Amino acid sequence: MRFSRHRSTRLLGRLCFYAYCSLSYIFLLSPIVVVIATSLNGPSSTSEASFKFPPENLSLHWYWNIPSAQLEALGLSFGLALVSAIFACLLGVPAALGLVRSNLPGKALIAAVFRAPLQIPSIVTGIALLQLFYVIGDATGFYWQGTLLGLAIGHIFVATPFVVGTVTAILQRFDRRLEEAAVIHGATPWRALRRVTIPVIMPGVYAGALYAFMVSFGDVPIAIFLTAPGFVTYPVEIFYALENDFDPSLMASATLVIFICLLALLVVQKAVGLDALLKSGGTGSTR
Amino acid sequence: MSGVVLKGVTKKYGPITALRTMDLRIEEGEFITLLGPSGCGQTTTLRLIAGFIDPTSGQILLGEDDITDLPPRKREIGMVFQDYALFPHLTIKENVAFPLRERKSDPSKIDQRVSELLDLVRLPGVESRYPSELSGGQAQRIAVARAVAYPPRVLLMDEPLGALDLKLRETMQIELRRIQQELRITTVFVTHDQTEAMTMSDRIVVMNDGRIEQIGTAEEIYDHPVNAFVADFVGRINLFDGVLVGRDQDQSVVEIFGGVRVKVAGSPSEEEKKLCIGIRPENLELLPSDVGATQANVINGTVVGRTFSGNLVDFYVEVGNNQPVLVEVPAARRSFEVGDKVQIVWGAEAGVVLGAD
């Protein structure tokens, strides 16, 4: 078969395609490039000179001047994100199993409740939790704001829907005959769940856990209400630093985080693959 | 190993009846096929035997044991699923060893048993691969190996060959039969492919609309179908509605096409006036219209279509205003063209009398 279209037209189409792709990449990557480049400025007397782009007097000077408070906050954020991701899975996986497998009346309503944290603006969630913690504190004498417990509750609240979403998506494609094959060949329902169902839906769990981790790690609006002096997450610490003492060490610490995240993604990709993450596309709806 | 007995087993889903009081005795070591169009109740029957669903009423026996209320894992059944249902996250060895581990076999003997099983299905040395690395035919063999790993009392197969291409399906039919014979294992096989049913089974159960239409060997069902449904579903057949108009010794005279009288061996048991006669296309013969025919039955017609399929030629012959009659002729024999006037001839013993629908 012979195409009547001219070669030049096809070339033009191809150029447009490449241009479009390039622009997309520039749009997505340029802020990161600016941050990384700016962090490499050398020391100078005036503050404007420290933020030159492209950088002058390339050096790692600012990396040695990252305030220890930021590093401590970074440690807290990692720990918190890890705890949030784990608990989001412990809540989200059984929830997804129940939503997909059971014939509960009002299943749609329950699914909506599990999605609700995504539909409430985080700032509202933050205020609501703070208020709740005051009430609980007044009643019991234990105030949860400014504690790991209080922060974790807030982050688990917003992170769990992501796990429910990815696991629901993968469960809906799950071939029930795998479980039948397990059961007919001697497995108890519990063994079938442990040896077949859970391993097969694991990519969805990993994907959801990664989302949960990122949601917790990047959160400002909730954490800003629930942190206390001396107990601050990384994004909130950065937020304060921007307001108070803004210098390129901020860029240095941000660059550090970018590379840590990149490394983490590579490890996850190597270990479980990110295909599941991309395919499950965040919060799938329950049928 | 044991036989299986279904006693008045019924399965209803709300107002819909999937299976109507089914009675079936499957002998020990027998290869039995449940054959019928999709959704006729064969898969329901299989799932009832497996225990994935409970009968609305009736009883299922395995050997002497009533298993009606037993959960699937305690029934000691092996099953091969459509699309195989191999565990994608486990290696072939772990897949095949699954029933052994779940049923608490001696762990030190598992390796040896797995390699025996892979030899049985003629796929040795694939222990460390994953199901995604196997072809359809190989996955099929592994599914069989897993199903018989912990010697089951009964082997169930749910359209196991449906996903394979024709050539592979033919090979696997022979393979499955060989394995079944080697193990002498009671097997219940579900298919909607009548060729598959006929080549593999000791007996065939033809099912339709949730009930059994006929049980018998392939020959019995092909040569002596009990009704028009079975005759039509198993192999190809020309069905003519007619009226019984008389007797001639042990032959019946039936009027078809509103006027043509034909003779059929045997006679309906009761004095049914309306009936149906069926004649397989390979039992009909075509002659040029100018040749004197000696057979019992002759109908004149016109060739309106022909299709060539290698060893055979199918002729479609129009007789009056009725549906064309299908005649199957070996390709080597003399041929006719579309538009030729022909005579369709057959002996009285070539037709079967079927009850009218």
Residue-wise pLDDT for B261-297, tens only, equals 788 877 665 566 778 888 899 988 888 888 777 777 8
- Pick the residue from chain B with its C-alpha nearest to A201: B89
pLDDT of B260 over the 90 cut: no
CB–CB contacts below 8 A, A to B? 67
Same domain, B191 and B213: yes
Same domain, B227 and B248: no
| Mean pLDDT calculated for residue range B175-204 | 92
Residue with tokens 């019991």: A140
Q: What is the per-residue DSSP string for B258-317?
A: TTEEEEEES--SS--SEEEEEE-GGG-EEEETTSPP-SSEEEEEEEEEEEE-SSEEEEEE
- The per-residue b/e assignment along B231-254, b for 16 or more CB within 10 angstroms, e otherwise, is bebbbebbebbbebeeeeeebbbb
Same domain, B180 and B48: yes
Same domain, B293 and B327: yes
Strand order in the sheet with B351-355: B260-265, B251-256, B238-248, B274-279, B351-355
Closest to B36 in 3D by CA, of B22, B16, B25 = B22
Same domain, B290 and B201: no
Weakest-pLDDT range from A49-58, A144-153, A223-232, A234-243: A49-58
Domain encompassing residue B71: 4-231
| Mean pLDDT calculated for residue range A71-75 | 90
Among A170, A173, A184, the strongest candidate for a mutation testing the B interface, having the largest count of B CBs within 10 A, is: A184
Task: Calculate what percentage of chain A has a pLDDT beyond 90.
Answer: 46
Closest to B155 in 3D by CA, of B20, B62, B41, B22 = B62
Identify the domain boundary among B198, B231, B264.
Answer: B231
Weakest-pLDDT range from A14-23, A44-53, B79-88: A44-53
Identify the domain boundary among B209, B231, B253.
Answer: B231
Position B350 scores a pLDDT of: 83
Structure tokens at A121: 């603006």
Give the integer Cα–Cα distance in Å for A142 and A149.
Answer: 11
CB B72 to CB A196 under 8 A?
no
What is the CATH number for B295?
A: 2.40.50.100
Task: Calculate what percentage of chain B has a pLDDT beyond 70.
Answer: 96
Position A196 scores a pLDDT of: 94
> Between B143 and B319, where is the model more confident?
B143
| Chain B residues within 8 A of A178 when measuring between CB atoms | 85, 87-88
| Mean pLDDT calculated for residue range B91-106 | 93
CB B71 to CB A185 under 8 A?
no
The verdict on A185 touching B (C-beta cutoff 8 Å) is yes
| Chain B residues within 8 A of A183 when measuring between CB atoms | 52, 71-73
Give the integer Cα–Cα distance in Å for A42 and A50.
Answer: 7
| Chain B residues within 8 A of A206 when measuring between CB atoms | none
pLDDT tens, position by position, A80-97: 999 999 999 999 999 999
Predicted confidence band of residue B11 (pLDDT cuts 50, 70, 90): very high
Predicted confidence band of residue B204 (pLDDT cuts 50, 70, 90): very high
Q: Report the gap between the CA of B89 and the closest CA in chain A (Å).
A: 7
Same domain, B93 and B200: yes
pLDDT of A284 over the 70 cut: no
CB A180 to CB B52 under 8 A?
yes
C-alpha B112, offset from chain centre? 36
pLDDT of A258 over the 60 cut: yes
Closest to B96 in 3D by CA, of B159, B150, B161 = B150
> Between A168 and A146, where is the model more confident?
A168
Q: Report the gap between the CA of B91 and the closest CA in chain A (Å).
A: 13
Predicted confidence band of residue A281 (pLDDT cuts 50, 70, 90): very low
Q: Are B156 and B49 in contact (CB under 8 A)?
A: yes
The verdict on A175 touching B (C-beta cutoff 8 Å) is yes
pLDDT tens, position by position, B298-325: 888 889 988 888 888 899 998 877 778 8
Same domain, B35 and B158: yes
Pairing of strands B16-26, B4-13: antiparallel
Same domain, B223 and B249: no
Highest mean pLDDT out of A110-114, A151-155, B242-246, B249-253: A151-155
Identify the domain boundary among B231, B265, B293.
Answer: B231
Position A274 scores a pLDDT of: 62
Position B292 scores a pLDDT of: 76
> Which domains are present in chain A?
67-280 (1.10.3720.10)
| Chain A residues within 8 A of B87 when measuring between CB atoms | 178, 181-182, 195-196, 200
Position B162 scores a pLDDT of: 82
Give the integer Cα–Cα distance in Å for A161 and B151.
Answer: 45
Same domain, B105 and B253: no
- Pick the residue from chain B with its C-alpha nearest to A200: B89
Weakest-pLDDT range from A47-51, B76-80, B337-341: A47-51
CB B102 to CB A200 under 8 A?
no
Q: Name A111's Cβ contacts closer than 8 Å, sequence gap at least 6.
A: A99, A285, A286
Among B62, B75, B79, B144, the strongest candidate for a mutation testing the A interface, having the largest count of A CBs within 10 A, is: B79
Give the integer Cα–Cα distance in Å for B85 and B102.
Answer: 17
| Mean pLDDT calculated for residue range A48-77 | 82
pLDDT of B28 over the 90 cut: yes
Position B275 scores a pLDDT of: 81
Q: Report the gap between the CA of A191 and the closest CA in chain B (Å).
A: 8
What is the CATH number for B117?
A: 3.40.50.300
CB A187 to CB B102 under 8 A?
yes
Q: Are A276 and A203 in contact (CB under 8 A)?
A: yes
- The per-residue b/e assignment along B116-146, b for 16 or more CB within 10 angstroms, e otherwise, is ebbebbebeebbebbbeebeebbbbbbbbbb
| Cis peptide bond upstream of A54, omega within 30 | yes
What 3-state DSSP class applies to A213? helix
| Mean pLDDT calculated for residue range B20-38 | 93
Predicted confidence band of residue B356 (pLDDT cuts 50, 70, 90): low
Weakest-pLDDT range from A282-286, B129-133, B224-228: A282-286
**Inter-helix orientation angle A7-38/A249-272, to 10°:** 120
Pairing of strands B274-279, B285-288: unpaired
ipTM passes above 0.85: no
pLDDT of A279 over the 70 cut: no
CB B81 to CB A200 under 8 A?
no
Please provide the average confidence, as pLDDT, over all residues in chain A. 86
Structure tokens at A84: 């949030």
Structure tokens at B77: 């059944």
Pairing of strands B57-62, B203-208: unpaired
Give the integer Cα–Cα distance in Å for B116 and B97.
Answer: 11
A141: amino acid identity, one letter? G
- Pick the residue from chain A with its C-alpha nearest to B143: A181
- Could you say which residues from 191 to 230 on chain A have a Cβ atom under 8 Å away from some Cβ of chain B? 191, 195-196, 199-200, 202
CB B71 to CB A196 under 8 A?
no
CB A177 to CB B87 under 8 A?
no
Q: What is the per-residue DSSP string for A85-105?
A: HHHHHHHHHHHHHHHHH---T
CB B85 to CB A178 under 8 A?
yes
A90: amino acid identity, one letter? L
Out of A175, A184, A187, the one facing B79 most closely (by C-beta) is: A184
pLDDT tens, position by position, A184-195: 999 999 999 999
Out of A186, A188, A199, the one facing B150 most closely (by C-beta) is: A186
Q: Are A99 and A173 in contact (CB under 8 A)?
A: no
Same domain, B146 and B14: yes
pLDDT of A285 over the 50 cut: no
Strand order in the sheet with B203-208: B77-80, B154-158, B187-191, B31-35, B203-208, B211-216
- The per-residue b/e assignment along A167-202, b for 16 or more CB within 10 angstroms, e otherwise, is bbbbbeebeebbbbbbbbbbbeeeebeebbbeebbb
Same domain, B118 and B218: yes
CB B99 to CB A186 under 8 A?
yes
Other CB atoms within 10 Å distance of the CB of residue B24? 19
- What is the number of domains present in chain B? 2
CB B50 to CB A184 under 8 A?
yes
- Pick the residue from chain A with its C-alpha nearest to B72: A184
Give the integer Cα–Cα distance in Å for B109 and B97.
Answer: 10
Same domain, B291 and B202: no
